[in-house]
Amino acid sequence: MSATTIEEAVALTKKFTSKPSNEELLKIYALYKQATIGDNQEERPGGFDFVAAAKYNAWLKESGKEKAKASEEYISLVNSLSSKYM
């Protein structure tokens, strides 16, 4: 099964039977946020919230990417990971 829309890709991630690596999860998160919200305008999280900081930085790396392009990349990434984690 492969996704063709961002909604289908989100649903597909919920069917993963094992957890992707932290690097893969951050990429999924960043592309999803860029595709659905756009550039990161949030305040940088505090220094000791390492998970929030990693997510913030991953999303920040996608800044300037158009929502449509981020959406394409998100769907493609989820589809490729689905063969590995389903």
The domain limits of the chain are: 6-85
Mean per-residue pLDDT for 51-64? 97
Predicted confidence band at 47 (pLDDT cuts at 50, 70, 90)?
A: confident
Phi-psi region of 65 (alpha: psi -120 to 50; beta: other; left: phi over 0): beta
Predicted confidence band at 46 (pLDDT cuts at 50, 70, 90)?
A: confident
3-27 pLDDT, tens digit each: 999 999 999 999 999 999 999 999 9
CATH for 6-85?
1.20.80.10
CA distance 48 to 38: 26
Contact 31, 70 (CB under 8 A): yes
